[in-house]
Structure 1
Amino acid sequence: MNPKVFENPIHKFKLNNGLNVHLIPTNSQITFVQLDIPIGGITLRYEKDGIINQVIPGSAHFLEHKIFATPEGDGFQKLSTFGVSANAMTTYQTTSYTINGHENILLSVIYLIKMLDEPYFTDKNVASERKIINEEIQMYDDDPDTIIDRKLFSQLLYNHPLLNDILGTKADIKEISKESLLKLHQDFYLNENRQLLIIGPIDVYEYEKVLKENFNTYKETSSVIIKKTEEPKEVKLKQDKLYLDVFMPSISIGFKYIHQKLDYLSRYKNSMIMSFLMRLLFGKQSSFSDQMIKKGYMNSNFDFDMTNEEQLLLYVIDVNTKNYEKIKEEFINYFFNEALNELTHENFEIMKRGYLGGYLMELDDIETKLYLYGKFNLNQMTIEDAIQTIKDITLDDVIALYQSFNDDMISYLFTLPKDKK
């Protein structure tokens, strides 16, 4: 039996402005609020009323910044006067606004909803925000890790929206206007799937009463269909070199997998199987990492990074090393000839127990729990589903995924100091 994720029932209702509300009473010192809008960095093409709309890359992030503009001033500063901490974040598929604090939570939530429902965009404040975002883009343009990630994605992908940064480019930002932001706001910020989640020591009936009193005017919500981009199974480029201002060379190895089933639960299961596979083959306890360190080819273990969006599952392992060509040679021999020997029941069960234990420990943090609840709920899934999915994964699942890979699904990037060019 799975552990109980929330000790009390979740209270759900819908406001007349179309916002779905989930209230989660719990015994905590702080109340956390999360308001999710179903638009993110890779929401670049959608259909509404039979019309296909193109979105300028960076628009979701720009909208997240600009939504805090109000006729009275900066919404962030106003929220701080209520004694709460506020933040916002744009991911690949979602824009989230968060609040946490001990007091004035309802007051802050009402202010946040009104701010999101009633945008204040002008040509002047959009132009002003453009300068701020350009500075943010420049910061990432100068960051070696970001440059490496972009380069490897360009080797893995042909035309998927993941090739575009969440922030967009300076050229993209130049094209974003007050009118384009208002169009996106109308189609997504009044969307039927947006959700407000509140967890903490709250009186759910009092919260429902106050929220309904403040938002009793009916608003028609919008419905859109996000259009997906087909992506080939093979990588675009199998190997390349990148010269940067770095002291130590590195090797990045990218794996590309196309989901056969597109429902979120199936994609989530595949992502967990991939995590298990990579931990078994290249984790701290793996024979490959141990051998590479003993041979002096690398001094530390591999870093891992996974991206699981739409039909794409990308996994990257990388390590700083002067022996990048040796690592590649050893990797190819190991992955295609010897790795199956690592996939034993004993190794699998040890790794699975450790992973599941760590996952359950993360749920002790209510902010993490709220984030996962919101992410899964937008995709018709629950935290309980996630736990059960991890428990249900078998060694056969891991072996089947491993055996599905071939050389055309893997790309290598060597990052070298500029003086080696």
Structure 2
Amino acid sequence: MEKYLGESIPQLGFGLMRLPMNGEKVDIEQTKKMADIFLEKGFCYFDTAFGYLNGESEKSVKEVLVDRYPRDKFVLATKLPAWAGAKTKEEAEQMFYTSLERTGAGYFDFYLLHNLGEQRTHFFDDYDLWNFCAKRKEEGLIKHFGFSFHDKADVLDEILNKHPEVEFVQLQINYADWDNPTIESRKCYEVARKHNKPVVIMEPVKGGILANPPQKVTDVLKAADKDASPSSWAIRFAASLDGIITVLSGMSNVEQMEDNVSYMEDFKPLSEDEAKVVDEAREIINAIPTVPCTACTYCMKGCPESVAIYGTFQAVNIVNIYDDVEAAKGRYKWNTEGHGWAKASACIECGQCEEVCPQHIHIREELKKAAAILEG
């Protein structure tokens, strides 16, 4: 008998957000090979969402899994993003049925309200999607109901107090963000544990960034185990936590799949010595100079141009730490356009933000630097 929901699920999950592509379509043949390897090695959890790859991710589930394997051979999760274009309760509810139609799965083993936090949560309340999902669960169309989350720990605590009926949560957890004040991986994990909610982990490799970490980090990891990939350290760190359903890895090719299953097939939690290696890697990352923003948002509350100040600094710090401009631009687009906030170049230099910044950041100067890097 399971001590908690998902305890018996293998601790590597296949995230279907970064699938191999042929133009705007999923490379179905390569994805089939990846899924076959994954299932042959004893893994089973596949994670998609209504909006991944403009719906192509969910459609690929039908061709890759539903049409080729018995339904009880895999566990399928998908998500409903009510904030992404749904103007009415009916439109939001239709996302669920569209997902059912696209995948042909018949039911979802794990169903999530997608990306709660910040200004997005109210959509799920406004459209009463909590009760909608509860009814679909009664009908057998949903086996287990939860939500994914991107915000601070106190917000997570508030939502879980309000909705104790959810069975699990999906959180961004990786060793680099463990004590990051803007992401609060550790604190969010601790809130979930306090509420006895098992956790699905997303972004264990931080969107692929930790597959190619700063050279000093790579040197430390290779010194500890010359044969282990940087990704393996990141995924094993996440999978070593207690109360985990699975750790999602967004794999994009057969080689990544083969690497991941090689060390997760016979998963062993980090040893005490290995945990110290990860601690050292984190200390190196934390010591790299960054914009010292803690995402308190005081600066944004009075900004006349609604500039995404802390979202900009979060993105530019990806460049500062990992020297990955493309990843930073992707985060920047999401933190600005994706949230309805203005870009750094919209700043009119009124200085109001600097008057209230507890960290005394020269915000206007930093925004100029960020705009030059991220908007070029």
Query: Is the structural similarity TM-score above 0.5?
Result: no
Tell me the TM-score normalised to structure 1 length: 0.24
* Higher relative contact order structure (alpha carbons within 8 Å, sequence separation ≥ 6): 1
Tell me the TM-score normalised to structure 2 length: 0.27
From the two aligned structures, give the one with the greater strand fraction: 1
